[in-house]
Amino acid sequence: MATNDSINILNSAYLAVEYIDSFLPDNPLQQPFKNAWNYMLDNYTKFQIATWGSLIVHEVSYFLLCVPGFVFQFIPYMQKYKIQQDKPETWEKQWKCFKTLLFNHFFIQLPLICGTYYFTEYFNIPYEWEEMPRWYVLVAQCFGCAVIEDAWHYFLHRLLHHKRIYKYIHKVHHEFVSPFGMQAEYAHPLETLILGTGFFIGIVVFCNHMILLWAWVICRLMETIDVHSGYDVPLNPLHLVPFYAGARFHDFHHMNFIGNYASTFTWWDRIFGTDSQFIAYKEKEKKQQLIMKK
């Protein structure tokens, strides 16, 4: 009975969104995007699209999303939004991070990306424009992928902090006490594989078109680069996502090496009480701000 009720609720929600969508104006970018997508299908093989297309989407998205945080360090006005103001970025750390990223991207992640084509073939994942899901279905699927990845990340990340394991794997990622956006994927190769597995679980569950692979890559990079940015910028649109953790939440984890283990949402840390120190820290901050105002 409960399952049927849930299905009915989801169907009703889907119909409601579809009804609202029918009143929205046409997206002016849809036709150019359609033309570009069909051009890609006509001129490249599925293997090239799945492999090199996925690599390009990842690399371009990653470094473009890192640009705002990188630029912030040169803008005095933005320094008031930096969470750990006593620990500025240095060229030495950023260069070291960049070199490690290139190694991880091309020697760890690229071999995994090479399996994308075979995944889509095995599960008969379509590439055609006509079978592409509507925008609201894609948004829902990306959210579902985020929920699954977040659960995986919480428990495996917490395990990597175990005293018998931490110094061998996860310590690499914590080399930077004050994180910056580009450092999001700075990690031991084993950690890239262990925590990265959570990214693929949602794809296995939800993927019904090649576009979801790329949309989820962009969403996941947007989130992880934001929480590692080191800046708590106001009017951040990601804060509109329910239960979104954000940069301040994850920055506390890098400061203290404990608690706040989830990647995207706050509920797992709240359920298991691993955000207790962060909550106490925020309350202390509020009291200090009130004293300063007086």
- Where b means 16+ CB within 10 Å and e means fewer, 110-124 reads beebeebbeebeeee
pLDDT tens digits, one per residue of 198-227: 999 999 999 999 999 999 999 999 999 999
pTM (whole model) above 0.85: yes
Instruction: Please report the pLDDT score of residue 2 as a whole number.
Output: 46
Burial call 49-63: b when 16+ CB within 10 Å, e when fewer: bbbebbbebbbebbb
Q: What φ, ψ does residue 234 adopt, rounded to 5°?
A: -70, 160
Low-confidence ranges of the chain (pLDDT < 70): 1-24, 290, 292-294
* pLDDT value at residue 286: 80
The pLDDT of residue 27: 76
Give me the residues paired with residue 139 across strands: none
